[in-house]
Structure 1
Amino acid sequence: MIKTMRVPSTPRRRQAASALLALGAMLSAGACSVANSGPETSSGGAAANTVRIVLPEEPPTLEPCDASLTATGRVTRANITEALTERDPGTGRLQPALATEWKQDSPTEWTFTLRPGVKFHDGTAFDAKAAAFSIDRTVGSEIDCNVDGYVFGGIELTATAVDDTTLKVKTAKPDPILPLRLSFVEIVPATTSATGKVREPVGTGPYKIAKWDTGRSLRLERHAGYWGKAPEFAAAEYVWRAEGSIRAAMVKSDEADVAIGLAPEDGAGDSAVQYPNNETSYLRIDATKAPLNDIRVRQAINYAIDRDGLVASVFAGLGKPAGQLVPEGVTGHSSAVQAWPHDMAQAKKLVAEAKAAGVPTDTPIKIIGRNGIYPKAAEAMEVVQNSLIEAGLKVEIEMLDVNAWLEYLLRPFPKNLGPTLLQAQHGNQAGDAAFTMGQIYGSKGAQSSYGTSELDSMIAAAEQASGEERQTAFAKALEHQSKDVVRDAVLAHMTGILALSPRVTYKPNAATNDEMRLADMHPAG
């Protein structure tokens, strides 16, 4: 699933996002067979040195500066292109990649020491000039990079090559997590276009693009000149099928080795592997319109929803009831913010109190849902609708396809709307609450329907803090949001399913949806 919530909010970027999503939704209607070639074959007829992956959608592009789009990043990141730094999804620690070390010289200046002897796929040398160019192309150009809006959000910086292996980066304001932000800047040669996006990039990664047969398949081959340890599979072949049941069947029939984005009912059977997928489902409450502008009504919505029942029934047990968008393992997570308890009596009481105080609780509230945002998305909203009606509210549902739904997700929102609840999902793959709080809860956030000056101040202060102070500051902001603002109804931390062939060993993690590293896949046996 493309993480559309990460798209910046300017009109031009909104149009670009819609175009990308529309292209990503165009799926091949051909047969399910996956062709492979190679000198070695397994008993099932597949090339033993090729790993075969079936995706829900064709990547809209492999443009490196759009690698924060899930459909692009899961193919590009750490496979074709690499960044200066990388985050370990298990520990959250930042690790060297194309930079071997870094230090903060002042609150606004950083020095990065780059890995020597690295070459791009075209044979040109990776150096500080290429790193500076890639940063400027991603953050300072006019090509509307998705990474720019999602990761940097208006931060001003300059990158300068001191010598071949030394890079200096200066920011206009102190930024304690700059090395983390740079883990999203994929490095490309300085010969890459700086005025337009590229579909097939040149990188430093362990794999290079061999052939992209649009609408049918994409093949990557191992880069013989890779600077690091060579991955075990010589090649990877990607195909895409919209139906989860078909993707699962392809693994079971030995037509694919890995199938992602599955639901329990897709029938993966013994090949199914569950993993925490970094996503949190929630309802964004438009707290600017009655009756949702009364905090008692927003609290009632949270009390009315039976999260345990929702996870157990609709999500088939694949998930965990949640109370915040920042999950465990992400800087800023607050252990004090728990999922709201299911208390229908309290929900009814709060709605009655609001009604007695003159709040128009009989005003129809519309749930804006998105088809396919996660398995059984419509059923989940029907469960919510029934609960809110029982609490004393009037609720309707409108399910939309992704492009129409985007109009409600991002500023500027459609005009003349009544009170709405937006079905949404958020993943924080970067590991820091800064990538959640501003855009989701800030008064002017790209996805925010409501904010307060007090919460804005708390977010701004947390963004300038570092270490334990940063953790504490963001946690307090989340606690304030949950208690005093109640801008949303968080539902569940989700669990993903992929199907895995017995000929491949692979351990998915919280980053798998966004960054599927081929080097982590190994032939079984």
Structure 2
Amino acid sequence: MAGSGAARSRPIVTSLVVLLAASGCSVAGADPIGGGPDDLRIVLPEEPPTLEPCDASLTATGRVTRANITEALTERDASTGRLEPALATQWTRTSATSWTFTLRRGVTFHDGSPFTAAAAAFSIARATDSGIDCNVDGYIFADGELTATPVDEDTLRVTTARPDPILPLRLSFVEIVPTSTDPDSRVREPVGTGPYRIDEWNQGRYLRLKRFPGYWGETPDFAAATYVWRAEGSVRAAMVTNDEADVAIGLAPEDGAGDRAVEFATNEVSYLRMDAGKPPLDDIRVRQAVNYAIDREGLTTAVFAGRPSGQLVSKGVTGYNASVRPWPYDPERARKLVAEARADGVRTDTTLTIVGRNGIYPKAAEAMEVVQDGLIKAGLKVRIRMLDVNAWLEYLLRPFPAGDTGPTLLQAQHGNQAGDAAFTMGQIYGSEGAQSSYGTAEFDALIERAERASGGNRQKAFAEAFSHQNDKVVRDAVLANMTGLLALSPKVRYRPDSATNDEMRLADMRRAD
């Protein structure tokens, strides 16, 4: 619950403070954030790998761009789950495969050009039918074919090859850009309709946004926002407590935010994606052993904040299956399964590589060390390779690295902010999914059936698919539904919600004075 972390105690950081005082350096490092009282100062765990709008479904990108720089036709209210108007004011399903959207009038892009149905159609085509390989295409639309056609300046018709009962929800992930945007390659500094525009991106140091005076909606409290990034959570927390930043995200309880800490529920689920097509992970007994060998209670008690989970979506998402429980910690069962596989000729002595990502969540490397220890005790050989976000993305997204990388367990995290399992299943578990390393024909059929269903049948079909993955496929070792922790300075009022990790809306941050 938001605010419940405020009473947490603050660990001693005396040696750090003394060292910094002696050296004359700021806690922030070489580039402390400037700005006046109307500027927000935000410190992130990592620099966005890209600001390309059609990659805004990536957490590190979306938390900066979505609803700040760019906007979509629709948006989901994270607190209620309802789909709300954004750049579209209403939408109607006119046939099994066609929707009509009425667009908001009087909206202007940051470059001064008007928002029209032509821009909306262009943006949809650029995100879903171009050679850019947009993350949103594989994540949100998978193999779905759609055509967007302007009816007039304020009306858009979108048709799909097959019936799609949640198309307006899918379009909440398509960020709208002007027709002057390069249609064939990624852009470094996008132009949008949001309340803020890019002022300066000094790559590797900081990113500054300024309030857009021509914004169609309510004027945000803060005139500008400057983002910097620091890998260490304790440094991010200290920047807030020392009045060097106003907002710090991705913290752990022991990072020392003290009474500036705010705890909140997230939709993020941490997991390990297994290369189930490569030996020894191609043997389901070994994949089961991996799951039994992980102490999830220990991880969420001693390493990071969260609660053990057995599936990639959290409660409240259509398709969540309450009967799919976290795998129990059973090291003896893990050892027996590995021994059985070895006795049948499975090469269990092949080294598994945990491919981790620095800063994916607090104490990411420490979490993988706990996992490694459990797998080694189960009789497996395991090494850890921690990567920064850009190198890690090569393993997350197709096409995966060429050559024989050996069997890997990819440290990953999934946040289904859209509230429907369609945004999880196809891209992560489908045989051709953008983030999938393994699938089966039977599982694909279950996913497809669920995606075509509606109402109660949709919930039932997706719940069955999650059960099938847990019992018959075991492609993942799901770890925990994560709890978020951020720090706020006294000058900012902000209530984080389950979508905060994916889209941190600057307009929701208010001046406290």
TM-score range normalised by the length of the shorter chain:
0.7 to 0.9
Answer yes or no: is 1:381 the counterpart of 2:368.
yes
- 1:94 corresponds to which letter in structure 2? L
Q: 1:385 & 1:59 partners in 2: Cα distance?
A: 28
Mapped contact 1:367–1:381 kept (Cα < 8 A): no
Mapped contact 1:370–1:400 kept (Cα < 8 A): yes
Mapped contact 1:87–1:94 kept (Cα < 8 A): yes
- 1:376 corresponds to which letter in structure 2? K
Answer yes or no: is 1:281 the counterpart of 2:280.
no
Q: 2:370 & 2:29 partners in 1: Cα distance?
A: 36
- Identity over aligned pairs, percent: 68
Mapped contact 2:267–2:313 kept (Cα < 8 A): no
String of CA shifts for 1:123-166, please: whole Å, max 9, x gaps.
33222122112212222233333322322223222111111221
Judged with a 3 Å threshold, the aligned counterparts in structure 2 of structure 1 residues 202 and 268 are, in CA distance, closer, same or farther, namely same
Judged with a 3 Å threshold, the aligned counterparts in structure 2 of structure 1 residues 194 and 451 are, in CA distance, closer, same or farther, namely closer
Judged with a 3 Å threshold, the aligned counterparts in structure 2 of structure 1 residues 61 and 454 are, in CA distance, closer, same or farther, namely closer
Answer yes or no: is 1:78 the counterpart of 2:67.
yes
Mapped contact 1:291–1:359 kept (Cα < 8 A): no
Match of 1:208 in 2: 197
Name the stretch that deviates more: 371-380 or 322-331.
371-380
Match of 1:394 in 2: 380
Q: CA deviation at 1:518?
A: 0.9
Mapped contact 1:371–1:377 kept (Cα < 8 A): yes
Match of 2:247 in 1: 258
Q: 2:80 & 2:101 partners in 1: Cα distance?
A: 22
Match of 2:33 in 1: 34
Match of 2:225 in 1: 236
- SS in structure 1 at match of 2:285: helix
- SS in structure 1 at match of 2:263: strand
- 1:341 corresponds to which letter in structure 2? P
Answer yes or no: is 1:89 the counterpart of 2:67.
no
Q: CA deviation at 1:222?
A: 2.5
Match of 2:308 in 1: 321
Mapped contact 1:294–1:359 kept (Cα < 8 A): no
Judged with a 3 Å threshold, the aligned counterparts in structure 2 of structure 1 residues 52 and 375 are, in CA distance, closer, same or farther, namely closer
How do residues 26-425 of structure 1 correspond to structure 2 at under 5 angstroms? Answer: 31-36=30-35, 47-315=36-304, 318-355=305-342, 358-360=344-346, 362-372=348-358, 373-391=360-378, 393-402=379-388, 403-410=390-397, 411-412=399-400, 414-416=402-404, 418-425=406-413
Match of 1:431 in 2: 419
Q: CA deviation at 1:32?
A: 4.3
Q: Which runs of 5+ in 1 are unaligned?
A: 1-28, 37-46
Q: 2:298 & 2:312 partners in 1: Cα distance?
A: 20
Q: 1:49 & 1:457 partners in 2: Cα distance?
A: 53
Q: CA deviation at 1:416?
A: 4.0
Mapped contact 1:292–1:298 kept (Cα < 8 A): yes
Q: CA deviation at 1:355?
A: 4.8
Q: CA deviation at 1:104?
A: 1.2
Q: How many residues align?
A: 483
Judged with a 3 Å threshold, the aligned counterparts in structure 2 of structure 1 residues 421 and 223 are, in CA distance, closer, same or farther, namely closer
Q: CA deviation at 1:455?
A: 0.9
- SS in structure 1 at match of 2:382: strand
Judged with a 3 Å threshold, the aligned counterparts in structure 2 of structure 1 residues 184 and 306 are, in CA distance, closer, same or farther, namely same
Judged with a 3 Å threshold, the aligned counterparts in structure 2 of structure 1 residues 147 and 352 are, in CA distance, closer, same or farther, namely closer
Judged with a 3 Å threshold, the aligned counterparts in structure 2 of structure 1 residues 361 and 462 are, in CA distance, closer, same or farther, namely same
Mapped contact 2:355–2:408 kept (Cα < 8 A): no
Q: CA deviation at 1:419?
A: 4.3
Match of 2:24 in 1: none
Q: CA deviation at 1:182?
A: 0.9
Q: 1:248 & 1:347 partners in 2: Cα distance?
A: 39
Judged with a 3 Å threshold, the aligned counterparts in structure 2 of structure 1 residues 86 and 522 are, in CA distance, closer, same or farther, namely same
Q: CA deviation at 1:495?
A: 1.9
- SS in structure 2 at match of 1:154: coil
- SS in structure 2 at match of 1:424: strand
Q: CA deviation at 1:60?
A: 4.1
- SS in structure 2 at match of 1:120: coil
Mapped contact 1:292–1:419 kept (Cα < 8 A): yes
Q: 1:148 & 1:388 partners in 2: Cα distance?
A: 35
Q: CA deviation at 1:329?
A: 2.0
Judged with a 3 Å threshold, the aligned counterparts in structure 2 of structure 1 residues 414 and 263 are, in CA distance, closer, same or farther, namely farther
String of CA shifts for 1:288-313, please: whole Å, max 9, x gaps.
34443333333233223221112112
